[in-house]
Amino acid sequence: MFYLESIQKRIIDMLTVLEVSLRNRGFLNLHDQNIFSQRFIAELLNIVFGYKLVNLDYQKKNYTAIDLGDWERKIAFQVTVTKSSSKIKDAITKFIRSQQYVYFENLKVFILAQKQKSYRSNFETEGKFNFDPKVDIIDIPDIIKRVPSLSPEQLQEINSLINHDFFGYSSSDDSKPLTRETNTQKENYQVLRTVYRTEVPLYSDPECQCIRSGVSGVILEIREQPGNILNGYTIHPTTRKHFKAGIQVAWEWNIHNRFDKLWYRDPETGEIRSAWTQSAEFVGRAINN
């Protein structure tokens, strides 16, 4: 019993650390960790709820507004650090517009941090799929509340997942560190950030009518090495002019220059998107290949 209680406490502690870390990084628009957390969240939800979620970012088809999907249960998740009703409404609108309900009958939202205490907005699904804000908006504290009721097998699986993802321990034997081969892979692990788009106009209104002068957006392509795995794209505010498409840049910020919520038009689709809620200025210098 003592052993299981110690695992429960450890899981709760580590999930709390993750929640605080994501919340603090989100304040500075440091969303790389959010991207990498999608795989961890998928595994965690699979263990806790018995889902078979996969990361849709790795699929060939573009699944707008959703990040994870369980094909058998026809459940889709959007994973986001933004907890507002407007963000969830936007996800639902895009889910409907892109007809994702053809593939998934239930949309859920996982908040990477803490959700609002309540959601009183009317989330209109047009009767095309299921979405109940009382049960379909989930956050890390919701998972923490479930920990005491999980089976010993589930607790051990989550403990193994934490050991692997947080500390680099092998899931096959959590008492031992990684093998030399895996350690080498871990040492070679890196995130490459390449400039994808520069001088992206930013706007101070959600209709993108009032351009914000003195700052523009730089879009980075994020790839994980080894394997050259595409992990997505992020946009950041900058006043610097040294960014050129195709160059790799360092992960550097000017935290003394901050920007409130701004919007932009997706250069590929023309779709209006929220750039960030609040962000420091990205100033990453070019890295020699």
Regarding pTM above 0.95, the answer is no
**Mean pLDDT of residues grouped by 10 in the chain (289 residues)?**
76 83 56 60 93 77 81 92 89 92 93 86 91 93 92 88 66 37 45 91 95 95 78 87 93 83 91 83 84
pLDDT at position 138 is 94
pLDDT at position 261 is 87
pLDDT at position 277 is 74
- Give how far Cα 183 sits from Cα of 36, 186, 188, 235, Å: 19, 5, 9, 32
What is d(CA 114, CA 82) in angstroms, rounded to the nearest whole number? 9
pLDDT at position 26 is 54
Nearest CA among 70, 155, 144 for reference residue 114: 144
Token pair for 92: 């639902």
Token pair for 49: 């709820």
What is d(CA 202, CA 279) in angstroms, rounded to the nearest whole number? 13
To the nearest 10 degrees (0 to 180), the angle between helices 2-27 and 32-49 is 150
Q: How many CB atoms lie within 10 A of CB 59?
A: 10
Token pair for 239: 């006043």
Q: Which DSSP string do the residues of 99-165 spell out, in sequence order? A: TGGGT-SEEEEEESS---S---S----TTSSB--HHHHEEEHHHHHHHGGGS-HHHHHHHHHHHHHH
Nearest CA among 258, 289, 263 for reference residue 276: 263
Q: 203 has which bridge partners?
A: 211, 263
What is d(CA 81, CA 91) in angstroms, rounded to the nearest whole number? 13
E strand or H helix at 80: strand 75-80
3-state secondary structure of 247: coil
What is d(CA 221, CA 191) in angstroms, rounded to the nearest whole number? 10
Angle (CA) 45 47 38, round 5°:
35
Nearest CA among 55, 26, 29 for reference residue 42: 55
What is d(CA 181, CA 158) in angstroms, rounded to the nearest whole number? 24
CB 223 within 8 A of CB 194: yes
